[in-house]
Amino acid sequence: MLLIRPIKPSDYEALYQCAIESGHGFTSLPVDQSLLERRINAAQKAFAKDTVETPGDESYLFVMEDTETGTIAGVSGIEAAVGLNEAFWHYRLGKVVHHSEKLNIYNALETLTLCNDYTGVSELCTLFLREPYRHNMNGRTLSRFRMLFLAQFKQRFSDWVIAEMRGVSDENGDSPFWNWLEENFFSMDFPKADYLSGIGDKVFISELMPRFPIYTNLLSKEAQAVVGKVHDNTRPALKLLESEGFRFRGFVDIFDAGPTVEAEVCNLNSVRNSRLVPVAVRDSVAEGEGVPHIVCNTQLKNFRATKLSLPEGAEELILTTEQAQAMHLESGDEARIVAL
């Protein structure tokens, strides 16, 4: 059984391994012991908060565990509100028109303007599934269960949610967009800049990043070609989010120019289509064909989610005793479900 649960301190080694495997450009999962330990501690505090009146600096981090082997298959997270304690930077794509009626010249030029427009919104982040588990809709489950968490604990999050998509970089960590910035404004390579940002050392951004709008036609051809484009490994994650209702509105990452997508939480497909059903526990459950569903309990500290096959349009969640124990559910409880 692949079970999604809140991260705990004993998961550190597995989280560190995920950070190594995630590679360059995965800003929210740097290979840094202190940062990863802080993320685990922050998650512990977030899940321990009984009440939250408005979303703040809570950071919810989950792992997907193979209960048969104890192996951590992947990791996934949600930030309640970004940019409250430190600036949250993006480039906003815009247009400037240069027009001379006398000379009959009209040029609409694209610009990149540094901004903090997403301050205070929630963020889906840190999604990484290890290679051996990339099958059987496990990646879809590890991403989409977060929509059910948003639906169940909506008071803990903003009305809007974003997701930053990894931009284009090669196997050595070279980013065409950053190469242009490095040549003109910085003296550090992309992996180092990405690492510093990942560990929270972002002062250099405000000190060195160009503050005035940049005309994109002044970028190198290689840099222009990757603005708003995603890393090949990130395409499936972007496609999934788009199916949920996320859209690109012209905001890109300041390091690799990868797109940031946004959505109103109440309009996410999994939020709108998820529903609460009563739980019934049986000694055994008749096996039969069903529709894959994401199933989660409604608890915070003991949150659990998994993928189960249920009859289409099921009005009740029937679990075996073993499944119920793993999910921290009893007969008469409610569970939130959505079809995959």
Q: How far apart are CA 163 and CA 122, in angstroms?
A: 9
Query: Where is 127: in which H helix or E strand?
Result: strand 122-129
Cβ neighbourhood burial of 95 (10 Å; 0-12, 13-18, 19+): exposed
**Whole-number pLDDT of residue 185:** 78
Kindly list the domain boundaries of the chain, sorted by start residue: 2-91+114-273, 274-340
Beta bridge partners of 335: 277
Show the tokens assigned to 325.
């124990």
Of the residues 24, 99, 135, 231, only one is catalytic, namely 231
Task: Give the pLDDT score at 178.
Answer: 86
Binned at pLDDT 50, 70 and 90, residue 297 comes out as very high
User: What is the per-residue pLDDT for 287?
Assistant: 67
Using one digit for the tens of pLDDT, what is the confidence trace for 244-281? 999 999 999 988 899 999 999 999 999 999 999 999 99
Token pair recorded at residue 281: 């526990």
231 is catalytic: yes
- pLDDT tens digit string along 217-233? 999 999 999 999 999 88
Most confident region among 104-108, 117-121, 183-187, 282-286 by mean pLDDT: 117-121
Class level of CATH domain 2-91+114-273: alpha beta
pLDDT in tens, 143-164: 999 999 999 999 999 999 999 9
Helix 176-184 vs helix 190-198: angle between axes, to the nearest 10 degrees?
Answer: 90
For the ranges 11-20, 22-31, 111-120, the lowest mean pLDDT is seen at: 22-31
Closest by alpha carbon to 252, among 128, 78, 112? 112
**How far is 78 from 60, CA to CA, in rounded Å?**
5
pLDDT exceeds 80 at position 189: no
Query: Quick one: pLDDT band at residue 201, thresholds 50, 70, 90?
Result: low
Of 213, 93, 230, the residue nearest 163 (C-alpha): 230
Residue 29, pLDDT score: 81
How large is the C-alpha radius of gyration of the chain? 22
Domain 274-340 has CATH 3.90.1150.10: no
3-state helix, strand, coil in the chain (%, to 5): 35, 30, 35
53: left (phi over 0), alpha (psi -120 to 50) or beta: alpha
Question: Does position 78 have pLDDT exceeding 70, yes or no?
Answer: yes
Residue 195 has pLDDT above 60, yes or no: yes
Q: Is 323 helix (H, G, I), strand (E, B) or coil?
A: helix
pTM as predicted: 0.90
- pLDDT (mean) for 193-202: 61
Match 């059903």 to its residue by tokens: 277
Q: Report the alpha-carbon distance of residue 30 to residue 192 in Å, rounded.
A: 11
On the question of a common fold for 2-91+114-273 and 274-340, the answer reads no
> Do residues 25 and 43 touch, judged by C-beta distance below 8 A?
no
